[in-house]
Amino acid sequence: MEARASASIGRVARAAACAVGILLSGVAADGAERFEVAAWVDHFDFAGVLQEDRYLFDSETAEGCARILDHVQEVGATTVLWRNCGGGTMRYQSRVDSHHNDGILDKRRVLGNRPVWDWVRYGDADPDLMRTALRLCKERGLRPGVHWPFEETHWQIWTIGRFNLENPQLWGRTADGRPWWGRCSLAHEEVIRHKLALVDELVERGMEVLFIDFFRTGGWSPAYEYVEPVVKAYREQYGTEPPVDHRDPRWKRHVSRYVTEFLRQVRGRLNASGRKIELAVGIPGIAPLATSDTLAFGADWRAWVEEGLIDTLVINTLHWDAKDPMGSTRALGREVMQAVNGRCRVLWPVRAYDYSGYGIPSYRKALPQMTDAQIAAQLTEMAWEEGAAGISLECVDYNNYAPETRKAMRALLEGQCRLAREKQ
């Protein structure tokens, strides 16, 4: 009886949310674009949320996905970037790599000791949770996107997927020649082909935005790219052996070219789908530009903007100054906007996460007179004023954007900031 009642409530909420979504979506009559609110959603983050000894979300079911979207829409989301994987383990029944119903036991990687077994139903063929989530987004007028962390890792529990385990000859290698099983190098065509096959699976499931997150690089680093093709190309280009120090600027730039080539291939594959599928990348620590070192994780984002590879640049973090949090945030965001110069869309961060020290909790610490809701609203408004295409919310969990914050943001996003201030 209780289950039926809650399902009924869920249906009503979904219908309401759907209506709101339709109202919120699309383009205004005068042609101005909606100010985008891209919410990163990891259904895993909603697992285990307890209230009065009751789980609020069964993230392993279609019903649970719908309830998660109900929650996400409270913040005013217009685009949902749904997490597709934990490292090399896909959260749907992939044909080309590990998933949660395949290889749960593998003697070659350390097993998770989580009490719920890494949410085993994520690998079910029916429901296919990835397909379900993207479909639900579309039905609600939300843009269905995928958050694909670039070589994301939760270490050996999930990171090392079937493809990686099967292909030691493609693994990365350290400067002293030791193979490292944590990553396959992007310098190998087989690796690119494999990743493109994963892109195909997402396209086939209805993805309209592919968001590649360069913060969650996990163990990927130029430190493990001393593989034969990369070293050979370096010798040919520079006439010398690669430096042992993987932080060497020339080495980082050299290695980043393989990441750029990977993105070229992804861009090509999305274009070949015949559908309009947006490619977005998320860059942490992007500004101040003078000190930012995004090549440390292979992200030569200026080259990507220059070449027109990406549709949207997602600012993951700005290293603002605690002496003038809002002023410096604005100045750094402007720096990025000027560097991009209208060549692609830019989303500014309104981050509840604070692991890097630049999220809402850190603003609150620097600005004790302000509440989280006020900070979030001010950051939203700032992005809008500066002509950003929208904002990026990493990640909308159950608790990290509190009810007052969600309310304040939504009021702005349905009011003053509903449409982007300038077309980019």
Partner 1 sequence: MRVKQVILGMAILLATHGTQALAAPDALTEGPGNDTEAAWSPDGRQVVFQSDRNGDLDLYVMDLASRQVRPLVTGPGHACFPAWSPDGQWIVYAFAHFTKTAVQGIEDGYNLFVVPAAGGEPRRLTRGPFRDYTPTFSRDGRSIYFSSTRGAEQSSVGLYRVPFEGGEPERVLHHDGPDVALVQPDLSPDGRLIAVGHIAGFRGNWSVRLLRTATPDAEFALTGPDAPLYSPRWSPDGRLIACTGYRVGDPGWGIYLVELRTGSVVRLDTGPGNSRSPAWSPDGKTLLFENNRTGSYKLYRMEVPRVSFPPATAEAIRTDPPVFQLALKESTGTEVKDASALGNHGRVLGTVGREEGALVFTGQGSITVPQPKGFDFGTGTFAVRVVLTVEKHTDALRIVAVGDYPTHHLGWQIYLGPDNRAWFNARDPGGLFVGAASDRPVPVGRKVTLVGIRHASGRVELHLDGRVQASAGAGAVMSYPVPTQVRIGSQYDGASPFAGRLHEMAVYRRPLTGREGGAPTLAEFLGEAK
> Applying CB under 8 A, does 175 fall inside the site for partner 1?
yes
Interface region with partner 1, contact rule CB under 8 A, candidates 18-26, 114-122, 191-199, 201-209? 114-122
> Applying CB under 8 A, does 174 fall inside the site for partner 1?
yes
> Applying CB under 8 A, does 58 fall inside the site for partner 1?
yes
47 versus 281: smaller Cβ distance to partner 1:
47
Query: What DSSP letter does each residue of 2-63 carry, written as one string?
Result: HHHHHHHHHHHHHHHHHHHHHHH-SB-TTSPBBPEEEEEE-HHHHTT-EETTEES--TTSHH
Phi and psi for 50 in degrees, rounded to 5? -105, 140
First to last CA, the chain: 52
The binding track of 59-78 with respect to partner 1, each residue x by CB under 8 A or -, is: -xx--x--------------
Interface region with partner 1, contact rule CB under 8 A, candidates 17-25, 77-85, 154-162, 361-369? 154-162
CA 132 to CA 241: how far, in whole Å?
50
> Applying CB under 8 A, does 35 fall inside the site for partner 1?
no
CA 206 to CA 346: how far, in whole Å?
23
Tokens representing residue 263 in the block: 């993105």
Tell me how far, at minimum, the Cβ of 178 lies from partner 1, in Å. Answer: 6
Q: How many chain residues bind partner 1 (CB under 8 A)?
A: 49
Tell me how far, at minimum, the Cβ of 185 lies from partner 1, in Å. Answer: 13
Which ranges of 95-218 would DSSP assign to H, the alpha helix?
129-139, 162-166, 189-204
CA 71 to CA 75: how far, in whole Å?
8
In 10 A of CB 351, how many CB atoms? 28
189 versus 414: smaller Cβ distance to partner 1:
189
Asked whether the beta carbons of 294 and 214 are under 8 A apart, the reply is yes
Interface region with partner 1, contact rule CB under 8 A, candidates 4-12, 15-23, 33-41, 116-124? 116-124
> Applying CB under 8 A, does 145 fall inside the site for partner 1?
no
> Applying CB under 8 A, does 223 fall inside the site for partner 1?
yes
Whether omega for the bond prior to residue 127 falls within 30 degrees of 0, making it cis, is yes
Interface region with partner 1, contact rule CB under 8 A, candidates 71-79, 102-110, 349-357, 392-400? 102-110
Tell me how far, at minimum, the Cβ of 95 lies from partner 1, in Å. Answer: 13
Phi and psi for 135 in degrees, rounded to 5? -65, -45
Tokens representing residue 183 in the block: 């990553």
How many residues are present in the chain? 424
Among 31, 177, 368, 415, binds partner 1 (CB under 8 A): 177
DSSP-based three-state secondary structure for 397: coil
Interface region with partner 1, contact rule CB under 8 A, candidates 149-157, 252-260, 299-307, 377-385? 149-157
Residues at the interface with partner 1 (CB under 8 A) = 47-48, 55, 57-58, 60-61, 64, 104-105, 107-113, 115-117, 119-121, 153, 155-157, 159, 166-169, 173-182, 219, 221, 223, 244-247
